[in-house]
């Protein structure tokens, strides 16, 4: 276990933004996590925030006034066609392992940064695959008790970029996947083709937190709002947030060192010494414009840390 005080969060987020956390504790085993939680005061305390790869976070320039636990509990075990995986394993290590072992179901998640824990929390996905597709159960730890439990797939309540973990705040410790045997060469080919497509949107070294806003599920929108959206913008039942942001002029706009990509209106990039304030102001500006034009309140996919919700 490694404890550091006044730790600059900009150094562990893919966006390269974020002031200091009062304390950052890096853990590599479940025992270390149990130790930390058992030492928490019994009343009047703020639970520590658990993070993985910091690839889906916008952290305030003021940082985080509390303890952050960085999860590096790694490890993958194969049982037949099942993989049992610790949540601090990087998603890329899991994808690579599944390909090498000739197990299909995760190969299109190649290139998504971060850990398995973060991917389950936000039900990460790309190119028609999501992390929940072949998941059978999740082992969790309740930070308040601190007791472990096995959660079924139903209890995870996975939806598009959503899971029950966003509400219940259980710590994800481990997950089990049931995959299908396949030719490793074919799986690698699919992964390579996927990665090639990804590099167009996310060139190497880009400082960003992935797409900022969630796309919209057409079926969830009231008819009155859906009528305002040109039909060609609806793809596979979803309306890309980027399409609406583009309509209100977001592409290429900037504030300070934060720029909205000129090729993708839902991609906010830190060009150098970007600040959370500039990112937030720019996101809010276009959130408001989309709301004014379409009556839709876009929802951030990225987790805002120590920042107010956009609708406040
Ligand atoms: C270049 C780039 C491309 C991306 N492409 C995609 C994409 O194609 N598809 C996609 O879905 N996402 C994408 N993302 C977003 C991001 O990579 C994913 O959301 C990723 O799964 C986040 O994992 P993480 O470990 O970095 O989570 P973090 O950013 O560290 O945390 C995100 C949230 O998960 C919670 N969390 C993390 N670990 C745990 C745990 N063990 N238990 C409970 N809660 C936990 C945190 O508290 C936080 O609220 C991209 C990001 C970047 C930078």
Catalytic positions: 161, 211, 301
Q: How many CB atoms lie within 10 A of CB 306?
A: 19
pLDDT for position 222: 79
Does domain 211-305 sit in CATH 3.40.190.10?
no
Task: Please give the helix or strand (H or E) that residue 270 lies within, else none.
Answer: strand 268-270
* Tens of each residue's pLDDT in the chain, 312 residues: 899 999 999 999 999 999 999 999 999 999 999 999 888 776 667 889 999 999 999 999 999 999 999 999 999 999 999 999 999 999 999 999 999 999 999 999 999 999 999 999 999 999 989 999 999 999 999 998 889 999 999 999 999 999 999 999 899 999 999 999 999 999 999 999 999 999 999 999 999 999 999 999 888 887 877 887 778 878 778 889 999 999 999 999 999 999 999 999 999 999 999 999 999 999 999 999 999 998 899 999 999 999 999 988
Tokens of 90: 């990087």
Instruction: With CA atoms as reference, report the closest residue to 253 among 224, 219, 281, 276.
Output: 281
Give me the CATH topology for the region 2-71.
3.30.43
Which amino acid residue places its CA nearest to atom 1 of ligand 1? 210
Q: Residue of the nearest CA to atom 19 in ligand 1?
A: 56
Closest Cα to residue 283, out of 306, 247, 243, 255?
255
d(CA 106, CA 91): 9
* Cα-to-centroid distance, 303 and ligand 1 (Å): 9
The answer to whether the CB of 179 falls within 8 A of the CB of 104 is yes
What span, in angstroms and rounded, lies between the C-alpha atoms of 21 and 19?
7
CATH, domain 76-199, list 1.10.10.10, 3.40.50.300, 3.40.50.460, 3.30.465.10: 3.30.465.10
pLDDT value at residue 42: 66
- Domain(s) of CATH 3.30.465.10: residues in the chain: 76-199
What letters, b where the CB count within 10 A reaches 16 and e where it falls short, cover 28-50? bebebbeebbeeeeeeeeeebbb
Where does CATH 3.90.78.10 sit in the chain? 211-305
Question: Could you tell me where in the chain the CATH 3.30.43.10 domains are found?
Answer: 2-71
Distance 228 CA to ligand 1 centre (A): 32
The strand pairing partners of 269, in sequence order, are 259
Give the Cα separation of 56 and 14 in Å (integer): 8
Ligand 1 binding pocket (C-beta < 6 A) is: 14, 49-57, 71, 87, 112-115, 117-119, 121-122, 124-126, 165, 171-172, 202, 206, 208-210, 303
């Amino acid at each position: 276990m490694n404890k550091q005080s006044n730790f600059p969060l900009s150094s562990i987020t893919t966006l390269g933004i974020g002031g200091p956390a009062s304390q950052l504790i890096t853990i590599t085993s479940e025992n270390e996590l149990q130790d930390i939680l058992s030492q928490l005061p019994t009343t009047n305390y703020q639970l520590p925030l658990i993070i993985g790869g910091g690839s889906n976070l916008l952290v305030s320039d003021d940082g985080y006034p509390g303890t952050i636990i960085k999860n590096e509990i790694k490890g993958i075990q194969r049982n037949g066609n099942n993989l049992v995986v610790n949540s601090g394993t990087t998603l890329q290590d899991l994808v690579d392992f599944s390909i090498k072992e000739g197990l299909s179901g995760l190969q299109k998640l190649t290139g998504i940064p971060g850990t398995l824990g973060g991917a389950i929390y936000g039900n990460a996905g790309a190119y028609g695959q999501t992390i929940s597709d072949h998941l059978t159960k999740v082992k969790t730890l309740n930070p308040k008790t601190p007791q472990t439990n096995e959660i079924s797939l139903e209890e995870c309540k996975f939806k598009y970029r959503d899971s029950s973990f966003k509400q219940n705040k259980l710590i994800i410790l481990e997950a089990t996947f049931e995959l299908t045997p396949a030719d490793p060469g074919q799986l690698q080919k699919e992964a390579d083709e996927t990665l090639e497509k990804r590099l167009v949107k996310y060139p190497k070294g880009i400082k960003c937190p992935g797409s900022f806003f969630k796309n919209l599920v057409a079926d969830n929108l009231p008819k009155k709002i859906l009528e305002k959206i040109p039909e060609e913008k609806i793809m596979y039942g979803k309306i890309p947030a980027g399409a609406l942001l583009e309509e209100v002029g977001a592409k290429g706009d900037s504030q300070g060192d934060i720029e909205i990509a000129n090729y993708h209106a839902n991609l906010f990039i830190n060009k150098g010494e970007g600040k959370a304030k500039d990112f937030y102001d720019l996101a809010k500006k276009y959130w408001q414009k989309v709301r004014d034009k379409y009556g839709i309140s876009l929802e951030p996919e990225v987790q805002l840390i120590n920042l107010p919700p956009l609708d406040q």
